[in-house]
Amino acid sequence: MFTSKAFVIACCLYTLGSLMTVSGTPAPGSFCSMKANGDYRHPMDCYEHIKCSNGIAHVFDCPASTLWDDSKKRCENTSDLPSCNSPFTCVGRADGSYANPTECTSYYVCDEQITHLMQCPATTHYDPTMKVCDHAVNVPCP
């Protein structure tokens, strides 16, 4: 028979095991290193989101038939959102950073023709001329 301490430990281990299998797509290693605590779109899978907590990334799946809506910071019905498949590709492009053609709070980094979607820190926009995220007042967003 379980003692109360053993029961609590068993429950904690079960919960930890459940959390560890929440998502199949790993977060990029340094994704949260320079980000404020909060929720962000997963750069490789819009059916998932990443919760940054003190520089550590925790990946979560959205429920079935939903996508992560980064503007609302929650999972939303897929029929209410544009497709998550980005038209941007790094195939045939030189390594470097490129403006996101659909919005200005993120940009793409091409590395050996692999596409990486990067988020600018809060209150900043990507400046395609300087190739950095800068204060939103300095970078007009079309």
Classify 11 as helix, strand or coil.
Answer: helix
Assigned domain for 118 exists: yes
Q: Which domain holds residue 57?
A: 38-76
29-67 pLDDT, tens digit each = 678 888 899 998 887 777 788 999 998 889 898 887 788
| Domain end call among 47, 76, 105 | 76
63 to 71, 74, 76, 80: CA distances (angstroms): 18, 11, 9, 15
Confidence of residue 7 (pLDDT cuts 50, 70, 90): very low
- What is the number of structural domains in the chain? 2
Assigned domain for 31 exists: no
Which of 60, 28, 35 shows the shortest CA–CA distance to 47? Answer: 60
Assigned domain for 4 exists: no
Assigned domain for 70 exists: yes
